[in-house]
Chains A and B, each alone.
Chain A
Amino acid sequence: MTVDKDVPSVVVSDLVKTFGDFTAVDHISIEAYPGEIFGFLGPNGAGKSTTIRILCGLLRPTSGLAAVAGLDVGRRPEAVRQKIGYMSQKFSLYNDLTVIENIRFFAGMYSVPDALMPERVDWVLDMAGLKGRGLALTGTLATGWKQRLALGCAVLHRPQILFLDEPTSGVDPISRRQFWELIHRMAADGVTVFVTTHYMDEAEYCQRLVLIYRGQIVASGSPSKLKRESMKGELLLVECGQLGQALEVLQAGPGVLDAAIFGSKIHVVVTNAAEAIPLVRKYLSEHAVTVSKIEPIGPTLEDVFVALTSRRDEPAGGEKGQ
């Protein structure tokens, strides 16, 4: 594929989308480049799907610009659609058609020439790992296969830009890994992959990330940059009993900037890890919490996210999620 890597394939500027009183997308501006895996990370309801649907021409923006492959989506939606692939959050191929019938149908929708049809059908079957199952009814496939088939149907016209809305929700870890390998291969071929997710571990696969919360961008950059720069302070891992009580105690602890539960542990943000460890240990035992382990750790994207969003919530009064 011959695309100029320096010309952004997706440009969003000052985009706003409101549904009645609710602002789903609140003045967002982003750019994504060819060959890039561009991640859109945020909790459910943050405005990820709305943005992606606007970019595919499925929703009309309230204001602002959305341009894909150099074309204004609002003005030339059909021209845009020929150049993009889209995979919606919910599985949306035809369950009552066979695998091959689905592939052929979408090939028809994208006007794939008849001469190329057998090759493309084979290619999708191969990619989705569905060789020999072409005649199976799509509804009978397991979720992982369905997702890969959906991906195949979204890219069989070789689009320059691929929009994936929560592509791996409900898929087992092995299938997820295989799915991401496919995505990496496409990006290597020069495709812009625009993907939304709320899985923090998946976000690590992206080359560039935008963290979105309540319709607004809270941070952007590569995963490592985000981890390096977005945390004010250092991180401690605390393993202890009485998790709920410990969290409450820690949030008011000496030198503690923030504390949050991660699984069965607590992550505590402090200004300086080395100085804080003995203080925190002492403080907890004073409050009758038995500590089994305290150690400094590097931040995950989840820490970054929690740190950034809790900072946002403070002036708003602390209520979470929409």
Chain B
Amino acid sequence: MTFHRWAAIAWKEVLQIVRDGRSVGIVVAMPIIMMLAFGYGISFDLKHLPVYVFDREGSQQSQDLLKHFQASEYFNVVRTVNDYSTIVRALDGGRCKLALVVPYDFSQRLNEGRPVSIQALIDATDGNSANLAIAYSEAVILSYSQQVRLDWTLRRGHIGIQAPVSVDARTWFNENLESAANIVPGVVVIVMAVVGTFLTALTVAREWERGTMEQLIATPVTALELMLGKLAPYFAIGVLDTCLCAVFGILWYGVPFRGGWSIFFASSTLFLIVVLSLGYFISVVAKSQLAASQASLLATFLPAFLLSGFLFPIDQMPVAVRVLTYIMPARYYMAIIRNVFLKGSAVALLRNELLALAFLSCLLVFIATRVFKKKLN
């Protein structure tokens, strides 16, 4: 291992990255595009759901109930109609996700103290949103019912009767329950996985494809010098992109950053080592840029996206898939990064994740150093 050769390789790689417009694009534009696309594009929030109402009674009380819906930020009563068929067509056409039908004897039953139901028709194409819509509409109805009961008892001369139990909810870590706070730290992981692996996956394959590798391996350069020289610039880029994403998330999306920068950088470094080694491994094995880029997407982007807990909670996955996530470096980094942004727990609590990440990075570095042979064929 000589510094001369290592530095010459690293510098050559820098020059090639700078000269190749695509690389520069991936380095600079990709993190920003992903931040914007995922930050705005992925939202589990359900707000202003379009609602049609069919009020068969049209009384003071039925209108009162519907006002409760209108007042909620989750619903937006877009139209009042006078027949079922319009509702059916609206649900079919996706113009509303929820339709409420108030029965003709609504106020009469209320005044007599008898139970009464509101019919809610929900477009459950998207099961998650439908569940949320049901829960939110039940909440609206519940608060309305309580008010009705309160009025009723007051009219009969009882005073000060309240509902016996209520929930006083305080949300921690993501106080405003915004998806962005959850998604944006995750995007850091995705960006690093993609930039780290995708760019490095091309670097060795490119040399084989262009025939420059034959000249290179005829020199005394060692496999280790080649690997470290090639990875050094991408490591720098990875660190840069990580910071870019973090700063972007904090300033643009207003995501908090409650943990320490040291654990942020330590875990990011470990994860970078993982993805760079993986990219290098793929590049050496694939020997063609096309195969390498496809393999790198399969090996990092998909796991980071689907199996890291980024979109889908790992606890909710089927056992087989959950077991699989344990060998995904992104899973551990995702847990650490979310914690660093939102919770800021003590480092000791993240020990297992850090150890797992450190182990995987050692393993991948070891594999990467073994795979390259200074031989043709």
Q: Which residues does A use to contact B, with CB under 8 Å?
A: 19, 53, 56-60, 77-79, 81-82, 84, 86-88, 90-97, 101, 104-111, 150, 153
**Interface members, chain B 1-42 (any A CB < 8 Å):** 2, 4-5, 7-9, 11-12, 15-16, 19-20
* Given contact pairs A94-B212, A96-B16, A153-B215, a sample of 14 additional A-B residue pairs in the complex whose CB atoms are under 8 Å apart: A56-B218, A57-B218, A58-B217, A59-B375, A77-B374, A82-B220, A88-B214, A92-B210, A92-B211, A94-B12, A95-B210, A108-B5, A109-B5, A150-B215
B220 and A105 within 8 A (CB): no
**Is B129 at the interface (CB under 8 A from chain A)?**
no
Contact B15 A81 (CB under 8 A): no
- Are A88 and B211 interface neighbours, CB within 8 A? yes
Which residues in chain B, 122-156, are within 8 Å of chain A measured between CB atoms? none
**Cα–Cα distance between A208 and B197 once the two chains are bound (Å):** 51
Closest to B218 in A: A86
B211:A109 contact, CB within 8 angstroms: no
Q: Give residues of chain B (173-215) contacting chain A, Cβ–Cβ below 8 Å.
A: 210-215
Contact B16 A94 (CB under 8 A): yes
Q: Which residues on the B side are within 8 Å of A92 (C-beta)?
A: 210-216
Assembly CA distance A53 to B19 (angstroms): 31
Nearest Cβ on chain B to A115's Cβ, whole angstroms: 13
Does any Cβ of A come within 8 Å of B219's Cβ?
Answer: yes
A79→B7 CA distance, assembly (Å): 20
Label chain B's interface by main secondary structure.
helix
Contact A105 B8, beta carbon cutoff 8 Å: yes
Q: Is the CB of A58 within 8 A of B375?
A: yes
Give the residue name and chain of the A residue nearest to B10 (CB).
Answer: A108
Complex interface: chain B residues within 8 A of A111 (CB): 2, 4-5, 220
Fill in one digit per residue for B211-233: 1 if any A CB lies within 8 Å of its CB, else 0. Answer: 11111111111100000000000
Contact B15 A97 (CB under 8 A): yes
Q: Which of B212, B217, B374 has the most CB of A within 10 A?
A: B212
Judged by a CB distance under 8 angstroms, whether B376 is at the interface is yes
In the A-B complex, the 7 residue pairs with the smallest Cβ-Cβ separation, listed nearest first, are A108-B8, A92-B215, A86-B218, A109-B219, A81-B220, A90-B211, A82-B220
Which chain A residue shows the least CB distance to B225?
A109
> Which residues of A lie under 8 Å from residue B20 when comparing CB positions?
96
Cα A84 to Cα B222 in complex, Å, equals 16
A residues less than 8 Å from B219 (CB atoms)? 81, 106, 109-110
Secondary structure at the A interface, as helix, strand, loop or mixed, is mixed
| Distance A223 CA – B239 CA, assembled complex (angstroms) | 61
Question: B residues within 8 Å of A by Cβ?
Answer: 2, 4-5, 7-9, 11-12, 15-16, 19-20, 210-222, 374-377
Interfacial chain A residues near B15, Cβ < 8 Å:
96-97, 101
Question: Can you name 19 A-B pairs with beta carbons within 8 Å?
Answer: A19-B377, A53-B376, A57-B374, A78-B220, A90-B214, A92-B211, A92-B213, A92-B214, A94-B12, A95-B210, A97-B15, A101-B12, A104-B8, A105-B11, A108-B8, A108-B11, A109-B8, A111-B5, A153-B215
Bound: A95/B220 CA distance, A? 21
Instruction: Please state if A88 and B220 are interface contacts (CB–CB under 8 Å).
Output: no
Is the beta-carbon distance between A109 and B222 smaller than 8 angstroms? no
Q: How far is the CB of B227 from chain A (nearest CB, A)?
A: 15
Contacts of B221 in A (CB 8 A): 109
In the complex, chain B residues whose CB is within 8 Å of the CB of A81: 218-220
- B377's nearest neighbour on chain A, judged by CB, is A59
Complex interface: chain A residues within 8 A of B213 (CB): 92
CB-CB nearest in chain B for A79: B220
Q: Which of B211, B222, B376 contacts A91 (CB 8 A)?
A: B211
Contact partners of B7 in chain A: CB under 8 A = 108
B375 — which chain A residues lie within 8 A by C-beta? Answer: 58-60
Check A86–B210 contact: CB distance below 8 A.
no
A110 to B220, CA, bound (A): 7
Tell me which residues across on chain B come within 8 A of A59, comparing CB atoms.
375-377
Q: A94-B12, A111-B4 are in contact. Are A86 and B377 (CB under 8 A)?
A: no
Q: Kindly list chain A residues whose C-beta atoms are within 8 Å of the C-beta of B211.
A: 88, 90-92
Inside 8 A of B12's CB, which chain A residues have their CB?
94, 97, 101, 105
| B214, A58: Cβ atoms closer than 8 Å | yes
Q: How far is the CB of A20 from chain B (nearest CB, A)?
A: 11
A59, A105, A108 interface centre (most CB from chain B within 10 Å): A108
Interface core residue of B20, B212, B219 (most chain A CB under 10 Å): B219
Q: CA separation between A87 and B15, bound complex, in Å? A: 23
By the criterion CB–CB under 8 Å, are A93 and B212 in contact?
A: yes
CB of A88 within 8 A of CB of B215, answer yes
Given A77-B374, A111-B220, A93-B4 contact (CB < 8 Å)? no
A109: which of B216, B376, B377 is its contact (CB, 8 Å)?
B216
